[in-house]
């Protein structure tokens, strides 16, 4: 077994004294059930009654946050879109699409974050506000990591362009510069604002030279004496070469230009051109990439990765992806030495700079309390063909493992389970099995919900689950005395055994009441009638009553007889059928022909000779009544036979 | 699709309805109600898309929640009784009238018929309702049809065992006549003037047992109804003409949950489905009669591989038609960006359309081309 990466955290369960009691637990797909056992450690004194509660321990609380639900829903949509790309675009050149999908994911995170922030500020409940605040900071970190992964792995920018992307990344996540700018610029005299120089330097640290120049002009007008110095810095800032990936300039040409500019800045420093103004001198030192000066701006930089990007901007603007990890590691060491050990976020980012995707995913899985982030990021990276070489010791592959975990979590939610279905669909190896096991456990409160679940199963040819859902619904209908509904459900499930059972109930009801219930259904069975023999009989028997009601006696008689001779009718029902034949035998005109009468007699004899006098249907009835019935029938049959012979003889004559 | 506004609301939406606009005003509708389903706590909510005093530009057209109220059980159906009152059908079998207090923007329960639909010892979901103020007719899985009056506590009339299977939807044909559709593909007409528990008429596609999920009556022609079924098929019926529908069109690839004629512009029809699509059906025709009312002919024009009904249809409808049916032409447009989660409900009024999905989103289009 592998070693654990981090020490597991301990969760104390209120109400259970774990020093004296032993706990039992059961794994669930998302939650764990914990209960107190009666097991006693040897020597421990009996400590009274057992705690009567079963505790549900939930790892993932986020799934129950109403705002994060939007994240799950919106990202589901993007996820499904991403899976379709695979099929539609065969060419290798899908990068722009992947980048745009990555951006979509990030904008969803941002939208959620903003809403959470908004609510965190407006809520009055202190606890809730803290909770929202925590979620915001988690989302911030998530978006930061995602954005870096986008730049490094998906965009995979080459030297030159790489730094531009990293600059954008830092600018986006150091938004307090813009807030500060607003504050300074809206004040009466910006140049005298206490945060003025911080702002100017922050601009330079982020490589926003145009904005830096604009704000420096304000100071220059206040200090006419130093105009030359300001002018010089302005020129340096203006002349700073910026690589344009789409332009005609090659990276080498840019590098030459940049070196010239760098030397020029350096010369100005050597000349002591800015010696009389420490702020301008500091800016110029930043421009030449002086590390000590940069480290003096720790408070403005805020993070080691901002330091890293600024350092690259002014010392190694043509940094190659492969060199990144060296600068990242050293920047982190330089920046953090006074601040203690790196936090999880730091090591995740560092792993990203080292292009160790698996380490990034692993660390994120440990640090974050839900699977949303790793599942979606891994899926996207997998689509970019970045994860192929990796195999797990368990399950199929990393992507599928994470998606399954995420989707299983969704499935435990009373409402979000529908989203999980699409995730399972795109897990080729185990998705189907997971779905089969989970879908049967969705509680079905209404038929409409059952229909939705059925649709999911039918679209995926999950015959077993379709049968089981229909059976659940049929049983429920039967329990509630809704025979019609029960029959409809068993027809939909093609469940012959259950259809037989319900048909029996219909026939029993008929025998008890003398009328059929649910005629609208039975009259409309159509081909569904063929599902079970008993159902066929039910439909045919009803057809007989219809014909009889319409006084189409000839057809009715033929049908009645065929029900017995073709063995469609259950033997237990023959007596009822023969009794039904009585009024036909008693009609004035002859309905049953001689042959038919012989057959009826044969049926009656078969029934009585075998001593299976139909006691099933009339268990409480007197033997006498049965005998009388048989006698009556025999008499009627004999009379009919006589009439038929006479009639047929007459016709022949 | 640019004019479509989507809002994620953190609950699966089962029903969306515009508040009726008073006929005197020329305003576009700006308030709608939604009901949720399958949540631990379900709600009915009132939303506004109108102008608000403190509304920023970025929220332009974004629906704002005015008020919400807890609803016991899934909201199975929801209708405005009038400008202030909303009737809901619940999966617990209850029928509730809510009052929307527009001054304080609050909701309260005005009337509750608990377990209106029920089994002998269990709850039976109420699946659908229709209002014709003050009358309310509800139907349920228990096969009952119940008539209420908004101002009466008691039940006015119950038709027990109106159906042996589940009744999915109901609509008024006339003031005393309703039409129900059930889970074995039948349309039943009920006349409340007649005593007894027998329908005055039963229509069904012969040999077809496909469950029907929704029904809507033509706003001007009381005998014309549209139904949608489990196979996504759209049927137009003339209830005077028995078992053959006027037309039969393949619309969706899964259950059609709702169908609505445009209330004032009846050449337009809207359908939504479990397959995640919302379709706008527009008949451009020279005659005054929309082409989907013109019988089997138009089905050949349809690109959606429509199924033509049995022969003889033409002669059946020709008496009803005055114009030339061959000029009929039917166009369908997808109204939503592609997504695969069920569109459970839609409502259209004037140029405004609102729909709700299992993807927990409400979509609003304020420029429906009608």
Kindly give the confidence (pLDDT) of every residue in chain B, 370 residues in length, as a single tens digit, with 9 standing for 90 and above: 557 889 999 999 999 999 998 777 677 888 999 999 999 899 999 999 876 544 444 456 689 999 999 999 999 999 999 999 999 999 999 999 999 999 999 999 999 999 999 999 889 999 999 999 899 999 999 999 999 999 899 999 999 888 888 999 999 999 999 999 999 888 999 999 988 888 998 888 766 788 999 999 999 888 899 999 999 999 999 988 877 888 888 899 999 999 999 998 888 999 999 999 999 998 765 444 555 555 443 333 333 333 333 333 332 232 223 233 344 567 888 988 888 899 999 999 988 999 999 999 999 998 888 8
Residue pair A645/A592 in contact (Cβ under 8 Å)? The answer is no
Q: Is the separation of the CB atoms in B72 and B83 below 8 Å?
A: no
With CB atoms and an 8 Å threshold, state whether A488 touches B274. Answer: no
Q: A75: nearest CA in chain B? A: B359
- Mention every residue, 6+ apart, whose C-beta is less than 8 A from residue A398: A358, A361, A378, A382, A387, A390, A392
Q: A446: which chain B residues are within 8 Å (Cβ-Cβ)?
A: 74, 76, 91, 125, 127, 141
ipTM for the complex shown: 0.88
Contact A521 B165 (CB under 8 A): yes
Count: domains in chain B = 1
Cβ–Cβ below 8 Å for B164 and A485: yes
Query: Which residues in chain A touch residue B230, judged by CB atoms under 8 angstroms apart?
Result: 451
Q: Does A385 touch chain B (CB under 8 A)?
A: no
pLDDT digits (tens, 9 = 90+) for A325-339: 999 999 998 888 766
Distance separating alpha carbons of residues A158 and A160, to the nearest angstrom: 6
Q: How far is A443 from chain B (nearest CA, A)?
A: 10
State yes or no: pLDDT of A202 exceeds 90. Answer: yes
Sign (positive or negative) of CA dihedral A223, A224, A229, A230: positive
Contact B172, B130 (CB under 8 A): yes
**pLDDT average, residue stretch A612-630:** 64
Does A452 sit within 8 Å of B76, measured CB to CB?
no
**In this structure, is residue B366 part of a structural domain?**
no
Nearest CB to A446 within list B125, B184, B360: B125
What integer pLDDT is reported at residue A565 of this predicted model? 83
CA–CA distance, A460 with A197 (Å, rounded to integer): 64
- Greater confidence (A624 vs A382) lies with A382
More confident residue, A517 or A428: A428
Q: Is position B352 within any domain?
A: no
Nearest CA to CA, how far is B360 from chain A (Å)?
Answer: 7
From first CA to last CA, the distance across chain A in angstroms is 101
pLDDT of residue A315: 92
Residues 51-70 of A with CB under 8 A from B: 66-67, 69-70
Domain for residue B95, yes or no?
yes
Cβ distance of A521 and B360 shorter than 8 Å = no
The pLDDT value given to residue B302? 37
C-alpha to C-alpha distance for A404 and B138, rounded to whole angstroms: 42
CB contact under 8 A, B342 and A452: yes
Contacts of B76 (CB under 8 A, 6+ apart): A446, A448, B14, B15, B37, B88, B89, B90, B91, B125, B126, B127, B128
Write out A66-101 in H/E/C secondary structure: HHHHHHHHHHHHHHHHHHHHHHHCCCCCCHHHHHHH
CB contact under 8 A, A447 and B166: yes
- Say what percent of chain A tops pLDDT 90: 35
Q: Which of residues 236-295 of B touch A (CB under 8 A)?
A: 254-255, 274
Give residue A103's pLDDT.
Answer: 95
> Quick one: closest CA in A to B93, which residue?
A446
Q: A448, B127: Cβ pair inside 8 Å?
A: yes
Whether A588 contacts A640, CB under 8 Å: no
**CA distances (Å), origin B135, targets A156, B113, B130, B149:** 66, 14, 8, 5
As a whole number, mean pLDDT of residues A202-222 equals: 89
Strands B4-8 and B212-217: unpaired
Q: Is the dihedral of CA A223, A225, A226, A229 positive or negative?
A: positive
* 3-state SS, residue A593: coil
| CB-CB under 8 Å, B186 with A415 | no
CA distance B38 to B246: 37
The rounded mean pLDDT for chain A is 85
Mean pLDDT of the region A139-148: 94
Range of the domain at B229: 4-261
Q: Is residue B266 part of a domain?
A: no
Say yes or no for a CB contact (<8 Å) between B74 and A415.
no
**Phi-psi bin for B144: left (phi > 0), alpha (psi -120 to 50), beta?**
beta
Domain for residue B355, yes or no?
no
How does residue A393 score in pLDDT terms, banded at 50, 70 and 90?
A: low
Domain coordinates in residue numbering, chain A: 1-59, 64-156+371-417, 169-319, 551-653
pLDDT at A91: 57
Residue B195 in any domain: the answer is yes
Residue A520's closest chain B neighbor by CA? Answer: B164
Cβ contact B76–A67 (<8 Å): no
Q: Which residues of B touch A69 (CB under 8 A)?
A: 8, 10, 360
Residue numbers in A near B274 (CB within 8 A): 452, 455
- The answer to whether residue B48 sits within a structural domain is yes
Q: Does the beta-carbon distance from A524 to B209 stay under 8 Å?
A: yes
Model pLDDT, residue B143? 92
Q: How far is A560 from chain B (nearest CA, A)?
A: 23
* Rounded average pLDDT over A72-87: 88
pLDDT, tens only, A274-296 = 888 888 889 999 999 888 999 89
Size of interface A-B (CB pairs under 8 A): 120
Name which of A34-38, A534-538, B238-242, B290-294 the model is least confident about.
B290-294
Cα separation, A352 vs A156, in Å, equals: 12
Tell me the pLDDT tens digit for each residue of A581-601: 888 888 778 888 888 888 888
As a whole number, mean pLDDT of residues A255-268 equals 92
8 A C-beta contact, residue A517 and residue A532: no
Percent of chain A's residues with pLDDT above 70: 91
Q: What mean pLDDT is predicted for residues A19-27?
A: 79
Q: Compute the average pLDDT of residues A621-646.
A: 82
What phi and psi values does residue A397 have, to the nearest 5 degrees? -140, 175
- The answer to whether residue B147 sits within a structural domain is yes
pLDDT at position A435, please? 94
Tens digit of each residue's pLDDT (9 = 90 or more) over A100-128: 999 999 999 999 999 999 988 888 888 88
Q: Is the pLDDT of residue A617 over 80?
A: no
């Amino acid at each position: 077994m592998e070693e654990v990466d981090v020490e597991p955290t301990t969760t104390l369960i209120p109400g259970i004294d774990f020093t004296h009691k032993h706990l039992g637990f059961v794994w669930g797909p998302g939650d764990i059930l914990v209960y107190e056992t009666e097991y006693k450690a040897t020597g421990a004194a009996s400590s009274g009654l057992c705690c009567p509660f079963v505790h549900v321990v939930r790892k993932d609380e986020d799934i129950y946050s109403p705002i994060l639900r939007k994240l799950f829903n919106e990202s589901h949509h993007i996820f499904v879109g991403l899976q379709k790309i695979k099929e539609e675009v065969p060419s290798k050149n899908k990068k722009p699409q992947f980048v745009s999908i990555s951006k979509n994911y990030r904008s969803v995170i941002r939208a959620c974050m903003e809403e959470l922030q908004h609510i965190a500020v407006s809520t009055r409940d202190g606890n809730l506000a803290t909770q929202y605040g925590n979620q915001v900071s988690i989302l911030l970190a998530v978006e930061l990591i995602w954005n870096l992964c986008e730049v490094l792995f998906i965009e995979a920018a080459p030297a030159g362009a790489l730094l531009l992307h990293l600059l954008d990344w830092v600018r986006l996540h150091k938004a307090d510069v813009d807030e500060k700018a607003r504050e300074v610029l809206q004040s009466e005299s910006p140049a005298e604002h206490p945060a003025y120089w911080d702002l100017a330097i922050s601009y330079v640290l982020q490589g926003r030279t145009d904005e830096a120049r604009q704000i420096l002009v304000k100071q220059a007008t206040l200090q006419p004496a130093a105009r030359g110095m300001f002018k010089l810095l302005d020129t340096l800032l203006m002349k700073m070469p910026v690589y344009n990936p789409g332009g005609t300039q090659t990276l080498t040409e840019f590098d030459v230009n940049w070196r010239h500019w760098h030397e020029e800045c350096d010369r100005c420093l050597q000349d002591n051109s800015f010696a009389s103004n420490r702020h301008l001198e500091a800016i110029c030192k930043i421009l030449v990439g002086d590390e000590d000066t940069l480290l003096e701006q720790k408070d403005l930089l805020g993070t080691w990765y901002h330091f890293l990007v600024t350092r690259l901007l002014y010392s190694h603007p043509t940094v190659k992806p492969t060199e990144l990890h060296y600068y990242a590691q050293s920047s982190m060491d330089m920046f953090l030495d006074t601040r203690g050990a790196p936090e999880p976020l730091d090591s995740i980012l560092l792993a990203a700079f080292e292009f160790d995707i698996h380490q990034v995913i692993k660390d994120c899985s440990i640090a974050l309390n839900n699977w949303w982030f790793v599942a979606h990021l891994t899926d996207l990276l997998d689509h970019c063909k970045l994860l192929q070489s990796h195999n797990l010791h368990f399950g199929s592959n990393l992507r599928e493992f994470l998606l399954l975990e995420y989707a299983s979590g969704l499935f435990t939610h009373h409402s979000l389970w529908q989203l999980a279905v699409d995730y399972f669909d795109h897990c080729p190896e185990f998705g189907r099995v997971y779905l089969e096991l989970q879908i049967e456990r969705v509680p079905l409160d209404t038929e409409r919900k059952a229909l939705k679940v059925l649709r999911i199963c039918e679209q995926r040819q999950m015959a077993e689950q379709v049968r089981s859902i229909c059976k659940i619904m049929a049983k429920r209908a039967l329990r509630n005395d809704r025979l019609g509904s029960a029959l409809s459900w068993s027809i939909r499930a093609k469940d012959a055994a259950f259809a037989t059972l319900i048909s029996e109930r219909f026939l029993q009801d008929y025998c008890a009441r003398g009328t059929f219930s649910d005629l609208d259904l039975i009259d409309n069975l159509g081909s569904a009638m063929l599902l079970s023999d008993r159902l066929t009989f039910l439909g045919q028997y009803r057809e007989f009553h219809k014909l009889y009601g319409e006084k189409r006696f000839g057809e009715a008689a033929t049908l009645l007889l065929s029900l017995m001779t073709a063995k469609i009718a259950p033997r237990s029902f023959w007596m009822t059928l023969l009794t039904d034949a009585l009024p036909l035998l008693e009609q004035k005109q002859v309905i049953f022909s001689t042959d038919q009468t012989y057959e009826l007699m044969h049926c009656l004899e078969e029934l009585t000779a075998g001593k299976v006098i139909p006691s099933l249907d009339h268990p409480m009835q007197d033997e006498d009544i049965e005998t009388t019935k048989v006698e009556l029938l025999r008499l009627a049959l004999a009379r009919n036979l006589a009439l038929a012979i006479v009639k047929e003889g007459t016709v022949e004559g | 699709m640019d004019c479509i506004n989507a809002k994620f609301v953190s609950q699966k939406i089962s029903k969306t309805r515009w508040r009726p606009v008073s006929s005197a005003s020329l305003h576009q509708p700006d308030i709608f109600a939604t009901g949720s389903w399958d949540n631990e706590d379900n709600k009915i909510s009132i939303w506004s898309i109108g102008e608000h005093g403190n509304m920023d530009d970025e929220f332009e057209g974004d629906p704002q929640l005015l008020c919400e109220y807890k609803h016991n059980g899934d909201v199975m159906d929801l209708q405005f009784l009038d400008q202030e009152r909303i009737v809901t059908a619940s999966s617990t079998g209850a029928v509730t009238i809510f009052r929307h207090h527009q001054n304080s923007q609050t909701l309260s329960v005005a009337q509750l018929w608990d377990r209106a639909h029920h089994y002998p010892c269990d709850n039976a979901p109420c699946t659908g309702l229709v209002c014709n103020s003050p009358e309310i007719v509800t139907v349920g899985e228990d096969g009952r049809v119940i008539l209420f009056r908004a101002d009466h506590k008691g039940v006015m009339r119950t038709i027990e065992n109106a159906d042996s299977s589940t009744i999915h939807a109901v609509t008024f044909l006339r003031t005393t006549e309703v039409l129900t559709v059930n889970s074995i593909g039948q349309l039943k007409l009920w006349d409340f003037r007649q005593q007894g528990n027998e329908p005055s008429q039963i229509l069904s596609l012969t040999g077809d047992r496909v469950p029907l999920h929704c029904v809507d009556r033509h706003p001007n022609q009381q005998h014309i109804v549209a139904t949608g079924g489990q196979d996504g098929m759209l049927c137009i019926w003339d209830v005077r003409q028995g078992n053959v529908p006027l037309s039969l069109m393949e619309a969706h690839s899964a259950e059609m949950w709702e169908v609505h004629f445009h209330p004032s512009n009846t050449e337009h029809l809207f359908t939504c489905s479990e397959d995640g699509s919302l379709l706008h059906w527009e008949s451009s025709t020279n005659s005054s009669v929309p082409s989907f009312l013109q019988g089997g002919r138009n089905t050949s024009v349809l690109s959606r591989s429509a199924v033509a009904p049995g022969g003889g249809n033409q002669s059946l409808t020709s008496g009803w038609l005055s114009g030339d049916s061959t000029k009929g032409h039917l166009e369908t447009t997808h109204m939503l960006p592609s997504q695969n989660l069920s569109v459970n409900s839609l409502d259209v009024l004037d140029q405004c359309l609102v729909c709700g999905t299992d993807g927990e989103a409400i979509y609003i289009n304020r420029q429906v081309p009608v």
